[in-house]
Structure 1
Amino acid sequence: MSDITYDVYRDDGPLARGLGRAGSALPAVHVLVPVLAGVLPLAAVVAFAGPDLPVRALGAALGWYVLCGGIASRLTTGTLSWLAPPVMRAAEYLVLLRIATWAPDDAALPAAFALLSALTFHHYDGVYRLRHQRVAPPTWLTMVAGGWELRLLAAYVAAVAGVVVQAYYVAAGAFALLFVTESVASWARFIASQRRASLVQSEDEEEDE
């Protein structure tokens, strides 16, 4: 897996990238070591804790996960390193959904699915672009969207403030507008470039004849 592909699949924001640069000075370890070190405690909290979970417990688990996941952002080598991005993607989706299930408002789940729909579009679009356009989405797109780490921390803050529904719907609308608009523009440019290349090739073939 190339560094560019790995970055797209991870969807790191500014905080994770900064932690990755700091973590590059640490002894080299397999990428799955810090990822699993962060995911497993978070998974335990998400799986077994109820809505009466102390706020500090979830905050500590999220903070530890962001730290470990961020440090792993510059580690791209090693057997099975390709497992890190899907593990982190699953962690993001499940935490966002779990926070919604803890909210007292019944509208939290529809809001969570709206947010997850926008995020899955963004992540699938990145994979599809790498496969067909051979280019990655622009870095600024991930930075504006906050990356997985800032989205999780923002969801935690929303849960503490009791505004999960409002925060999720606002984020879903903003992300949908951002991701779809940028994606449409990217594919329009790609199709136009393909047509120009095809036209030039046709003209060259006519000249050869």
Structure 2
Amino acid sequence: MTTTPSTAAADITPAPPRAVVTYRDDGPLAKAMGLLLSGQIPPLPPVIAGAFVMGALLLAGTAGRGDLAMFAPAVLLLLAGSGAAHDHDGRLDWLVPPILRLTEYGFVAFVGFGRSVPPVLIFALLGALAFHHYDVVYRVRQRVQPPSWLAAVGLGWDGRLLVIGVAGLLDAATMVFVLLAGYLWGVFGWESVTCWGAVPGGAPSPREGPAEAVPAAGQGSRD
């Protein structure tokens, strides 16, 4: 079977800009920061700067200044949050979500191992985050938008990092990892099952139309 040029082009088409915004998984604080700046800040440079500063603070933490590293989420929020309201329509803006995932997972691991949290709890929390992020990406690819409230209830990358940073400062990391992992698995697991169960006739093919054209599961048609 011969592949037509149009088909080949469809196979390499990047995710639409608004899908990239969904992939960010911003919480209320990051969204408020973006709205404060009216979406005028390009998203990639501040995210790269935030990741660099966070890396420097974590490096300082490994050198014996562990409490200093706990302020890294606040710095990342101020920098990366500034571009949250942008359309993410730049050629390289698709890099923003992977960078945010790297910083989030890295900070969780840093606090967990640095504060002697049992490894099973660290991996349980990382597993909840990875499940959620994969689920969101797959939904958007299948034109099943996650509900607008999910990022807020799931705290967003910004809220989760701030909670973990405060837990590290208060030497309560183990308890917070238990509570946060249980909470996120419950929220993300329950919402995912109910969302996919509400999709009539299975998820449509990604090639049937843009992701933005389909409402979140559970929202009826307006026709």
| Fold conserved between structures, TM > 0.5 | yes
Corresponding residue for residue 194 of structure 1: 201
Q: 1:181 to 1:24 in 2, by over 3 A?
A: same
Matched, 1:84 2:96: yes
Kindly name which structure, 1 or 2, has the bigger radius of gyration based on alpha carbons: 1
Q: How many residues of Structure 1 are paired with residues of Structure 2 in the alignment?
A: 188
Corresponding residue for residue 151 of structure 2: 142
Q: C-alpha displacement at 1:20, in angstroms? A: 0.5
Matched, 1:97 2:109: yes
How many angstroms apart in 2 are the aligned matches of 1:64 and 1:73? 15
Return 5+ residue gaps in structure 1 as ranges: 198-209
Corresponding residue for residue 45 of structure 2: 33
Q: C-alpha displacement at 1:169, in angstroms? A: 1.2
Give % identity.
Answer: 34
Q: 1:145 to 1:51 in 2, by over 3 A?
A: farther
TM-score by length of 1: 0.83
Q: Deviations over 1:66-103 (max 9, x none)?
A: 11111111221222110011001110000011011211
SS at match of 1:139: coil
Matched, 1:12 2:18: no
- Relative to its length, the structure with more helix (as a share) is 1
Matched, 1:49 2:61: yes
Matched to 2:198, the amino acid is: R
How many angstroms apart in 2 are the aligned matches of 1:77 and 1:65? 21
Q: C-alpha displacement at 1:125, in angstroms? A: 0.5
How many angstroms apart in 1 are the aligned matches of 2:66 and 2:111? 13
CA contact (8 A) 1:4 1:136 kept: no
Let me know the Cα RMSD of the aligned residues. Answer: 1.9
SS at match of 2:62: coil
SS at match of 1:40: helix
Matched to 1:194, the amino acid is: G
Matched, 1:161 2:173: no
How many angstroms apart in 1 are the aligned matches of 2:71 and 2:161? 12
Matched, 1:2 2:12: no
TM-score by length of 2: 0.78
Q: 1:127 to 1:106 in 2, by over 3 A?
A: closer
Corresponding residue for residue 7 of structure 2: none
CA contact (8 A) 2:43 2:80 kept: no
